[in-house]
Amino acid sequence: MSKKSAKQGSHYTVVVIYFNTWLDFFCMNLFLLPSYILSVTLHKEYGYNNRANLIFLRLKMNALNLAIKEALLSAGNTKEANKAYLEFIKANFIIPIEQNTENEEPIVLFLQENDHIFLPVFTEISYLNSWASEIAKEIKLLKLSGVDLLKGLGDNVTVCLNIGSEIYKEFNPSEITRMRSIVLKLFKK
């Protein structure tokens, strides 16, 4: 890959898949979102049944999603969880807000259940578009850094990251508190 096409904070993974028919390929790989596929290379191999195909998919995953995936796979390992928290702090987010906000303060969309608030937050526009397809004309977008997002969150807020994606993650209030303490430590240095 040339340096021109590589973005800072992006990670690339090559997936090799063997399949006999295109139907087999699509049935096995419904989890692949088009936004993750960077390139596809098809090779024909003649193995035991003279029909095997080999496909190389180059997939993109941002640093936060990769860190979350690794933390989930490590079953809550503290080191991996802290990496995910650090990537959250460094990330940029897209937050849906009300379209008809006349005052200068944006009004974010959220779900409230009793005293608990769930805030939808996205790292990729494709995730937001999938989630907001029915209300797209009624919302605007607010872009915030992880630090600014953490500063603006109240108590009892759960951040719902990339709703509907395969790396969906809810950051509960105790995780938000943990990330705020990391931010304080970073700025004290």
Whether residue 70 is found in the same domain as residue 145: yes
Q: Which residues contact 135 (CB under 8 A, 6 or more apart)?
A: 96
Q: Are residues 109 and 160 in the same domain?
A: yes
Q: In this model, does residue 9 exceed pLDDT 80? A: no
User: What mean pLDDT is predicted for residues 165-171?
Assistant: 90
Is the same domain home to 76 and 16?
Answer: no
CB 57 within 8 A of CB 32: yes
Mean pLDDT of the chain: 77
CATH number at residue 163: 3.40.1350.90
Q: What is the mean pLDDT of residues 93-121?
A: 89
Q: Is the pLDDT of residue 44 over 60?
A: no
Asked whether the beta carbons of 63 and 91 are under 8 A apart, the reply is yes
Is the domain of 47 the same as that of 137? no
* pLDDT-derived band at 48, boundaries 50, 70, 90: very low
Q: Six-digit token pair at 124?
A: 């990729």
Give me the residue label for tokens 């029915």.
Answer: 134
Q: Please give the Cα distance from 41 to 50 (Å, whole number).
A: 19
Q: Are residues 91 and 27 in the same domain?
A: no
**Do 91 and 174 fall into the same domain?**
yes
Residue 97 and residue 156 in one domain: yes
* Domain range for 132: 63-188
Model confidence at 11: pLDDT above 50: no
Is residue 19 pLDDT above 80, yes or no? no
Number of domains in the chain: 2
Q: How far apart are CA 178 and CA 151, in angstroms?
A: 13
Q: With contact defined as beta carbons under 8 Å apart, do 104 and 142 qualify? A: no
User: Rounded to 5 degrees, what are φ and ψ at 62?
Assistant: -70, 165
pLDDT at residue 30 greater than cutoff 50: no
What's the pLDDT at 54? Answer: 52
Local structure of 145: helix, strand or coil: strand
